[in-house]
Amino acid sequence: MNKRILITGGAGFIGSHLCERLIKEGNEVICLDNYFTGSKSNIVHLLDNPYFELIRHDVTHPYFIEVDEIYNLACPASPVHYQYNSIKTIKTSVMGAINMLGLAKRTKAKILQASTSEVYGDPLIHPQPESYWGNVNPIGIRSCYDEGKRCAESLFINYHEQNDVAIKIIRIFNTYGPRMNPEDGRVVSNFIMQALLNEDITIFGDGKQTRSFQYVDDLVEGMIRMMGSRDDFYGPVNIGNPNEFSMLELAEAVIRLTNSKSKITYMPLPADDPTQRQPDISLAKKELNNWEPKIQLEQGLQNTINYFDNLLKQGWTRK
């Protein structure tokens, strides 16, 4: 049966891919976005589809609609954007969760929270299982995002226990792919743009800190499987690629794949930047029909490089 599905942050990098996939599966999709970090260009190709609706709205204000499912993705996710207006970031995570949970409660919709690996902070356990409570600085430069998402998880659990709202919580690990914002300050987009422009590639710290990079299509598959998982499983569940790469390895791969003349330079590591991040995905494999990432780094990077290369050919320039 086709569903009416609301996606907050639907014009964002991840949200636009989710909109596309859910429409392709025959659903009616309502995309809600205030364009703080999302962009109409990400979903313009869907606007002629009669089953797609785009609404400009900020989730810090209530929204009323009848839907079957809600994917709550609204929140700036890169340090450049979430630190730009830290109070707005916390409000989006907390007030956005309250408003969408209220909507889910009223309409009896199932609701999925896009949480983050940032809830683990700078982890003392490696790789990170869902049972790990994290090592987060509550007053640090990243706390507006980290603590906002942690509070949102708490709200989801409490709405489930107190009001019987059907919830799902996923923790997303570093995700990349086409439609990333070239200026979002994330490491994959930074490195690719610097390499394509033959600029120095900037590594913060010694380059030994690691991340696990997940291609966006694998994440979308995990989200949809989580939404469709058994009723008594609501997470949280890690959705990420367990293959771990250092910043130096990533920079070298990007230079090679772009045939760039870029040199690698080093800058001081920002405050509270995690030194390691790697998901334990055994729970996702067990509960989400053997879900695991299919697209590995080289293939995913090449797809993303092609996207950014096309942007430059179309005349994209830095703001």
Q: Where residue 70 sits, what CATH number does that domain have?
A: 3.40.50.720
In a domain, 196, yes or no: no
- Whether residue 85 is contained in a domain is answered as yes
Quote the CA–CA distance of 181 and 168 in Å, as a whole number: 27
Examine residue 316 and state whether it is found in any structural domain, yes or no.
no
Domain count, the chain: 1
Domain containing residue 149: 4-176+215-241+278-294
Residue 233 covered by a domain = yes
134-141 average pLDDT score: 91
210, pLDDT greater than 70: yes
Tell me the whole-structure pTM to 2 decimals: 0.94
Q: What is the pLDDT of residue 80?
A: 66
Confidence band (pLDDT; 50, 70, 90) for 317?
confident
Phi (first) and psi of residue 90, to 5 degrees: -65, -45
Q: Looking at 71, 82, 120, 145, which residue is catalytic? A: 145
Least confident of 97-101, 195-199, 271-275, 281-285: 271-275
pLDDT digits (tens, 9 = 90+) for 29-81: 999 999 988 899 999 999 999 999 999 999 999 999 999 999 999 987 756 66
Q: Which residues face 32 on adjacent strands?
A: 8, 55
pLDDT of residue 78: 59
**49, 5 in Cβ contact below 8 A?**
no
pLDDT above 70: percentage of residues in the chain: 97
- The reply to whether 308 falls in a domain is no
132 assigned to active site: no
Beta partners for residue 28, in sequence order = 4
Q: Which residue from 228, 248, 125 is spatially nearest to 168, judged by alpha carbons? A: 228
Instruction: Quote the pLDDT of residue 270.
Output: 75
C-alpha to C-alpha distances, 170 to 33, 190, 208, 247, 283, nearest whole angstrom: 20, 26, 27, 25, 11
